[in-house]
Structure 1
């Protein structure tokens, strides 16, 4: 069972820009191994009274769990990240990664949202690739914790279309069509095909 859990996280090694997916998987594996407290709770201090056998036993078990957690975390990182974190304990590793990857996430989110909000379909371009690209941007933003929701996402896509789609936009909004983004994509492709076939007649 341990090898399966280890494989599930090492298959998606942390390389920097996949922190959120990696961290979610890490937490699942640590919960399965009953090691989640190693990153969620403050470190345990070494007992002062060395005569208390039970307390010493608990502390030794804690140190073993701490090492298992650290090995699991390091094994799931790229070699460069392993080198940077090999001298830290698990809680320090997570805190450092959150700071490091948080800054990267902010930059990535800004670039993605900038591209998304400025997306415009050229008059003679095909609507399919354009909308697919916007859906991809929306999905990437969602992975970074920035979910716009279906209605706002639809509005962004519709606002990126030229005037030749005005009839489609009016019809779509008036009928309050309950469609997901991919269904909307197919509707837009069909609509553009109808426009093109009308021009060729």
Structure 2
């Protein structure tokens, strides 16, 4: 995939505010592909001493990368946000955007965790779609930076099931089965059938 086609991801999903998490993930993909991710992940480089020819060469390359990264970022945000950030370097832009829109990630994480902890399988409902929905919620929570351990995720799923699954849960824990969540989903569907 060429750089132009990857940048089109950002053109199609410009940052307007509520889509910060998706935009930021796409931006990171584009910057990684173009080997520019350091301009937002690493501290600014210091200006080298005047007699350091090699350092000066690397610094000029770094400044070119910063300009390219800044242009990619500015081109992928709304006009209003462009005006607010046009005089900042890439690292400052990202820090400022995170401050502006970071609370949305916290709110989204709260809503997802509320849905996850409140999930319960209802009687006469198949467990497959229910467990699959829980796995989706777990993955979404993790995308927002809240890493759940595998065993904790398994416990959440087991606790959401009906009492009729209690023997399976006991066997699962006694035998210390090492399944990922999708293998666990298949096991639960087999058990139900």
Shorter-normalised TM-score: what interval? 0.7 to 0.9
Question: C-alpha offsets along residues 75-114 of structure 1, whole Å, 9 cap, x if unaligned?
Answer: 3345665455345432331111121232111111111111
Q: Report if the CA contact (8 A) 1:38-1:65 is conserved.
A: no
TM-score (norm 2): 0.76
Could you tell me which runs of 5 or more consecutive residues in structure 1 were left unpaired when the two chains were aligned. 46-51, 194-201
Matched residue SS, 1:136: helix
Q: Report if the CA contact (8 A) 1:138-1:153 is conserved.
A: yes
Question: C-alpha offsets along residues 147-183 of structure 1, whole Å, 9 cap, x if unaligned?
Answer: 1121111010001111111111111111111111111
**Inter-partner Cα distance in structure 2 for 1:181 and 1:160:** 14
Which stretch has the larger CA shift, 99-108 or 4-13?
4-13
Q: Report if the CA contact (8 A) 2:70-2:89 is conserved.
A: yes
Q: How many equivalent residue pairs?
A: 182
Name which of 35, 38, 46 aligns with 1:36: 38
Aligned twin of 2:185: 185
Aligned twin of 1:149: 149
Task: Please state how far the C-alpha of 1:64 moved relative to its aligned partner.
Answer: 4.9
Matched residue SS, 2:21: coil
Residue 18 in structure 1 maps to residue 16 in structure 2? no
Task: Please state how far the C-alpha of 1:6 moved relative to its aligned partner.
Answer: 4.7
Report the CA distance shift for 1:103/1:167 in structure 2 as closer, same or farther (over 3 A).
same
Matches within 5 A, 1:101-116: 101-116=101-116
Question: C-alpha offsets along residues 25-75 of structure 1, whole Å, 9 cap, x if unaligned?
Answer: 254246x25x73477334878xxxxxx9x8xx9798776554322211123
Matched residue SS, 2:2: helix
**Inter-partner Cα distance in structure 2 for 1:42 and 1:92:** 10
Matches within 5 A, 1:23-172: 23-29=27-33, 32-33=35-36, 36-37=38-39, 40-42=42-44, 64-77=64-77, 81-82=81-82, 84-172=84-172
Name which one, 1 or 2, has greater alpha-carbon Rg. 1
Task: Please state how far the C-alpha of 1:125 moved relative to its aligned partner.
Answer: 1.0
Task: Please state how far the C-alpha of 1:5 moved relative to its aligned partner.
Answer: 3.1
Matched residue SS, 2:165: helix
Report the CA distance shift for 1:79/1:175 in structure 2 as closer, same or farther (over 3 A).
farther
TM-score (norm 1): 0.73
